[in-house]
Amino acid sequence: MRGIAKSMARTFAVFLRKPVTRDYPTYHKPIPERDRAFPLLLWDEDIHEPFCTGCHACERACPVECMTVLMKDNPNHKNLDGTSSRRKIIDKFWIDYARCMRCNICVEVCNFDAIAMNNTWEGHEISVYDRQDLVMDLPQLLSQSRTGNINEWVPVLGQTNETMSETDAEVSN
């Protein structure tokens, strides 16, 4: 009987504690900056074009082959009286969110920091009725970055907290 009484006492004690649950749809927990939802493309605000040059690095590195990349000559290149220094630019880009396993490899291999993992709630709350709707095309992939609704965190492999703060200091200087 003593054991059962002890169990009941503990249950009662826990009952008096502050609850840890949250009402999810009304309350959105702040999520850490490293959070990885699905990958999306970043928008170069200065030149008004994507950072992505369509180099196929992410497409080749993707373990589940969820990406399709097509490249074209940049019509906005300097040789053509444009403003951009990118000779090639992304033409079409599809990411199949249904296939993606969010391993972060595409972000690591990108030479232009053009792709990032979505770390906002928009990246998590994707629900569709048709699986085809999870194949995102270029405008959809860029839209969140174009509206500035992303707190991008592009990890650099092997960067420690010390070197990270040094580079931050350099940038601010």
Site for other proteins, rule CB under 8 A: 1-4, 6-7, 9-11, 14, 20, 31-32, 34-36, 61, 63, 101-105, 108, 117, 119, 155-162, 164
Q: Provide the minimum distance between the beta carbon of 88 and other proteins in the complex, in angstroms, as a whole number.
A: 21
CA quadruple 35, 38, 148, 86: dihedral sign: positive
For other proteins, the closer of residues 96 and 108 by Cβ is 108
For other proteins, the closer of residues 66 and 138 by Cβ is 66
Q: Provide the minimum distance between the beta carbon of 124 and other proteins in the complex, in angstroms, as a whole number.
A: 10
Q: Provide the minimum distance between the beta carbon of 91 and other proteins in the complex, in angstroms, as a whole number.
A: 26
Cα–Cα distance between 10 and 28 in angstroms, integer? 31
For other proteins, the closer of residues 82 and 155 by Cβ is 155
Pick the closest to residue 147 from 105, 118, 126 (CA basis): 118
For other proteins, the closer of residues 91 and 152 by Cβ is 152
- Tokens 């992303």 correspond to what residue? 150
What φ, ψ does residue 122 adopt, rounded to 5°?
-60, -35
Cα–Cα distance between 8 and 3 in angstroms, integer? 9
Give every CB contact of residue 135 below 8 A, 6+ residues apart in sequence. Answer: 94, 95, 96, 97, 98
Q: Provide the minimum distance between the beta carbon of 89 and other proteins in the complex, in angstroms, as a whole number.
A: 24
Q: Provide the minimum distance between the beta carbon of 69 and other proteins in the complex, in angstroms, as a whole number.
A: 18
For other proteins, the closer of residues 47 and 61 by Cβ is 61
What φ, ψ does residue 25 adopt, rounded to 5°?
-65, -25
